[in-house]
Structure 1
Amino acid sequence: MSSPIQRSIGQVFIPVREMDRAVEWYARLLGFDPGEVSHEGTIFDIPTEGETRLALDANRPDFETSGPPRFFFWTHDMAATVGHLRRLGVRITSDVEDIGSVFFVQFEDPDGNPLMVCQRA
């Protein structure tokens, strides 16, 4: 079966309530210098590596955060990642788990969004 829709992710949007606070938190988490917010202060494009883009989105501040993480970040060093999360005071919501192909840890951003970091096994 064919489809005109490509199996490639263009951009992931993370809902946030307070843009300035979210930009600062993600800048510390991911190690980038905060830049300009666009779309009248409602969108911030996080600098990424690779083709998929990542944006903070404050257009709908009444969102729900329940459910599992909807995407994950990669790491080459899970121990360093967990240490980094602890130093930042991030709420870690799982132990590091080994499911064979990857190790992962789950945590939350200040808005309660579930996030995850994976390391290839």
Structure 2
Amino acid sequence: MKSPVQNKVNTIFIHVTDLKESVKWYCQLLGQDYDITTVERPVYNLLVNQEVGITLDAGPSGKKRINTSEHPLFNFHTDNIDQAYTYLEQLHYDIASEIVRFDDFAFFTVRDLDQNVIMICTG
């Protein structure tokens, strides 16, 4: 039988405890405008310019318990790693690692408000 599961990622869920604060954090990270009055539980879909969606998920009610990994599960792309690093420093984001450079790419990690580790990377 051919698998009915497609070889394609549809949506990445980022589990958060405070939806409004997380919307603000991620929208600033990505340089997106947002209207905080339109943010309602349980989820907020970030604007993306590709097929894979990103959903901030706070759950239906109350505080959500989150078990984070010390390793990133995905990355956001940048063409300029140094500018990205400086931008996040200026936002006073929790930068988890310094820039690591290789011949053909570079990356660093940042923690969101719930300690989810996000990689920022070239290449």
4+ runs deviating over 4 angstroms: none
Q: Distance in 2 between matches of 1:87 and 1:50?
A: 27
Tell me the equivalent position of 1:37: 39
Tell me the equivalent position of 1:53: 53
TM-score relative to the length of structure 1: 0.89
Is the counterpart of residue 119 in structure 1 residue 122 in structure 2? Answer: yes
Q: Report if the CA contact (8 A) 1:73-1:118 is conserved.
A: yes
RMSD (Å) for aligned C-alpha atoms: 1.7
CA offsets, 1:1-38, max 9 Å, x none?
95221111000010110111111111111111124335
Partner amino acid for 1:61?
Answer: K
Q: Report if the CA contact (8 A) 2:66-2:114 is conserved.
A: no
Aligned length: 118
Is the counterpart of residue 85 in structure 1 residue 111 in structure 2? Answer: no
Q: Structure 2, unaligned stretches of length 5 or more?
A: none
Q: Percent identity?
A: 30
Tell me the equivalent position of 2:16: 16
CA offsets, 1:82-113, max 9 Å, x none?
01110000111111112444211111011111
TM-score relative to the length of structure 2: 0.88
